[in-house]
Structure formats: structure tokens, C-alpha cells
Structure 1
Amino acid sequence: MALRLILMRHAKSSWDDGNLQDFDRPLNKRGRRDAPRMGRWVTAREIEVDRCLCSTATRTRETFDLWQQGSHQTPTVEYIEDLYHAPPGLILDCVKDVAGAGRTVMVIAHNPGMESLTAQFSGQDRRFPTAATAIFEFPQLERWRELTRHSDVKQLAFQVPKELPSEVE
């Protein structure tokens, strides 16, 4: 089986508490609704996630927890401080360094890095709103250490929460 990479931006966060640092902002009501829905969407595509690399920010951690509840999957999770507002190159470095033997790896992180990396892999500039999820396959790769921005890649899917089909509600 080819290696698969799932890129997910954290779900919608709250700006209600002006005293919180950006890093500490929690999800808002919409974010708490969308994260499990995206988990159900991934599972409906018959994709099993082996490993999740997740930013250490509050909103990404909450996104993973709720995604996991919706998907009923229990991938190994690695919380990585470097994923907080990471640019595309650093996201790739984290995948190469931490993904290990996982065949399907999910990254939950932030924009603009997630949007930029998705654009690089898909060849399409598009908005990557909160909880957006892109799934890529790398048919030529044997190990994550071989991953580069120029790896042969096929986009399998792209989904935003507001366009989810009703069967994953």
C-alpha cells in the first residue's frame, strides 16, 4: 500500500476570551461540531489513520480529540511544538522525522502552512478553511524519510465541513 498523508487544519477556534494567548485559544461551538464530522468523513472513505502528528496548541489538541471521537479510530498521536504555525518545509520535516512506520499519517496544524503545503501537493490554490482536510497518496515512496515537496503525489480527496455530504452528519 502506498503512503498516505492527511492534512487537516484545526477546527474553528474561539476569540471570546481576549486575555488568552493565541496558542491557548479553545474551539468554539462550530469547531466542536465540525471536528467529529470530519472524523466520520475520513472513516467513511475507509481510511485507517496509523499515526497523527498534532500541534501542541489547545485548538489542535481539541480538534484531534473530537476527530478521534467522530472517527472511532485510535491512531498513535505525537504532539509536536514545531507544528505550531509551521511553514510547509517544517511540516514536511516533522512528517519525515516522526511518522515512522505509519502508512497513513495525519497532520493537524495551522494556516498558512497547511494551505501552502496542500497547494504545493495538489497544484491548486484554494482556501483551506478551519477543519478542511486533504488526503494525498505517494505511490512511489517506501518510507516517509524519502518525502519531499516534489514527491510524486496524487490527491485522493479534499473536503471542507460546510460541504460535507449528509451521510456523515
Structure 2
Amino acid sequence: MKTLTLLRHAKSGWDDGVARDFDRPLNPKGRRAALTMGRHLRDGGFAFDHVVASPAVRVAETLGAVEDGYGRSLGAVWERAIYLASAATLLDLVRELPADAQRVLLVGHNPGLEELVLMLVADGAAGDSGALRDVVEAKYPTGALAELTLPDGWSAATAGAATLTRFVRPRDLDPSLGPGAE
């Protein structure tokens, strides 16, 4: 059984005046959310043996703040193909993950991450997985993470093959990180 954790970058700053979307940094609320998510990963006993991330500035800054909260480096492999990737591209990346990796963290962007969850977890899935899928379908906000299990390994990842075991948003851990809160 493989475990795939998908982390969307934290809230970025639109008023920073950068020329390219790729270079957009986190805003202060995003930095706080990423730090909070890092602490949640640490306190929840999350462990990863492979981390792959988009090299966009907002993802790199998210990962840096997550590491600060987590208490150690995650040693990410930077993969340009994740930047604004579609669910199909992300699925191809998942299928090519190292066979010996058991617990992978993928850090990237929406809508690709949300669509990947919705593709991998069957619509109408039973129990908690289905209920969590409904929450993801409503909105996969910045800084949120989804944890999925794939029983047949990375190369066998197909539509409907995963179980969604967790979906955590920054606001679930600290209400001041929710919409409208500053």
C-alpha cells in the first residue's frame, strides 16, 4: 500500500507586482498557514520517503515554512512539470514515482491537485472517503492537504483506485486562517 499526500501551496500575494505568475510569493497569511500545516504534519506523525514539488516561488516558500513547522528538511525534488499541471500530467508523475517510495508528498497547484483527487477517488466512494471527496469537490483551498492510499502501487494508479483518508485545511487547525480572516 502506497500513501500519497497532496499539498496545495499556501496563499500567495497578488499585490506584489511580480512580472510572472511563477514568481509570485506567499503573503503573510500564507506563511502562517504553511507553518501551521508543518506543525500538523509533525504532530500527526506524518513521514515521507520522497517529496516532489513545483519549483514556483510560492511552492518553494510554502515548503520552507512547512519545514520550519515540521522541524526538519523534507529534501524536495523540484519538478517543473508540476507547475500548473493538469490532473492527467500529475497522474503520469504519480505513476512514475520510485517503486521503493512508500509515502510521497507532492506539493503543487490547483486546479490540478483537486482534479487529481477527484479522479483517483471514485465518485460515490463509501464511508469517510466519499464524505471527504465531497469536501474536496466543494473547494480545495490554498494550504490544504489530501492524503490518499493506493493499494496497488504507483504504476497502477488509475481513476477510482484510491481511498481518501484525510483532508485538512489550514482553517481546520486555526480558524484565523479561514476565508475573510486576517
Whole-angstrom CA distance in 1 between matches of 2:36 and 2:60: 16
Q: 1:162 aligns with which of 135, 153, 171?
A: 171
**Alpha-carbon shift at residue 51 of structure 1 (Å):** 1.3
In the alignment, residue 49 of structure 1 is paired with which amino acid?
A: F
Q: What do you get for the CA RMSD once the two structures are aligned? A: 1.8
**Any residues of structure 2 matched to 1:98-109 within 5 Å, and which?**
98-109=97-108
Whole-angstrom CA distance in 1 between matches of 2:60 and 2:90: 16
| Residue correspondences, number | 162
Name the structure 1 match of 2:179.
none
**Alpha-carbon shift at residue 101 of structure 1 (Å):** 1.9
Name the structure 1 match of 2:141.
129
**Alpha-carbon shift at residue 5 of structure 1 (Å):** 0.5
| Moved segments of 4+, more than 3 Å | 73-76
Consecutive unaligned residues in structure 2, runs of 5 or more: 124-133, 176-182
**Alpha-carbon shift at residue 163 of structure 1 (Å):** 1.5
**Alpha-carbon shift at residue 27 of structure 1 (Å):** 0.5
In the alignment, residue 160 of structure 2 is paired with which amino acid?
A: H
Secondary structure of 2:155's match? helix
Secondary structure of 1:146's match? coil
Does 104-113 or 120-129 show the bigger shift?
A: 120-129
**Alpha-carbon shift at residue 102 of structure 1 (Å):** 1.5
TM-score by length of 1: 0.87
Change (3 A) 1:42 1:19: closer
Whole-angstrom CA distance in 2 between matches of 1:150 and 1:121: 5
In the alignment, residue 164 of structure 1 is paired with which amino acid?
A: L
Whole-angstrom CA distance in 2 between matches of 1:133 and 1:18: 28
Whole-angstrom CA distance in 2 between matches of 1:5 and 1:146: 13
TM-score by length of 2: 0.81
- Paired-residue identity, %: 33
Name the structure 2 match of 1:74.
73
Whole-angstrom CA distance in 2 between matches of 1:106 and 1:116: 17
Whole-angstrom CA distance in 1 between matches of 2:101 and 2:138: 28
Change (3 A) 1:16 1:7: same
Whole-angstrom CA distance in 2 between matches of 1:95 and 1:54: 12
Name the structure 2 match of 1:97.
96
Change (3 A) 1:82 1:136: same
Contact between 2:18 and 2:24, CA under 8 Å: does it hold in 1?
A: no
Secondary structure of 2:10's match? coil
Q: Residues 26-84 of structure 1, C-alpha deviation per residue, up to 9 Å, x if partnerless?
A: 11101110112111212222221111110111001111111112112433311111101
Change (3 A) 1:74 1:26: same
Q: 1:149 aligns with which of 159, 166, 175?
A: 159
Change (3 A) 1:20 1:103: same
Consecutive unaligned residues in structure 1, runs of 5 or more: none
Q: Residues 123-144 of structure 1, C-alpha deviation per residue, up to 9 Å, x if partnerless?
A: 3322011001111112x22x32
